[in-house]
Structure 1
């Protein structure tokens, strides 16, 4: 595994856009101050794509008895059984 490129804080402020492009392309970048690493910039994890209502239709199931409490549980919540 190749080490992440390291940039001094002054390099980061001078070349911020270019460094962000590296991260956007999937690279991790280490930011250092006086030669000591202080931060790691990593690309975000994959996005969850939910395009519209119902985008999870067919992927989630709900049991037919979802509204029924097991025996004795209703009393714990103050419901009559």
Structure 2
């Protein structure tokens, strides 16, 4: 949609709503493109379950205490 800046001043709220809905609005000044109002970028979210599969590992002995803990475990 092309719209002049003068008209956009009067309809800014409506234009922002249309951009939020996915429409791109081109603002013109004297018939030439001056700016664009674009829909917000959609962030791609990682799937929550299994997103880090293969990227994290835990050592087999991670829950075994070393000899330095002997005096605390008695």
Asked whether the two chains share a fold, i.e. TM above 0.5, the reply is: yes
Structure 2's unaligned 5+ residue stretches are: 59-74
Bigger helix share:
2
Structure 1's unaligned 5+ residue stretches are: 65-81
Q: Does 1:22 align with 2:18?
A: yes
Count of matched residue pairs: 57
Residue in 1 aligned with 2:2? 6
Residue in 1 aligned with 2:27? 31
The structure whose Rg is larger is: 2
Partner Cα distance (2:17, 2:40) in 1: 13
Residue in 1 aligned with 2:56? 62
TM-score, L = length of structure 2:
0.61
CA-atom RMSD in angstroms:
2.6
Higher RCO, Cα 8 Å, sep 6+: 2
Partner Cα distance (2:45, 2:51) in 1: 14
Following superposition, the deviation at residue 17 of structure 1 comes to 0.4
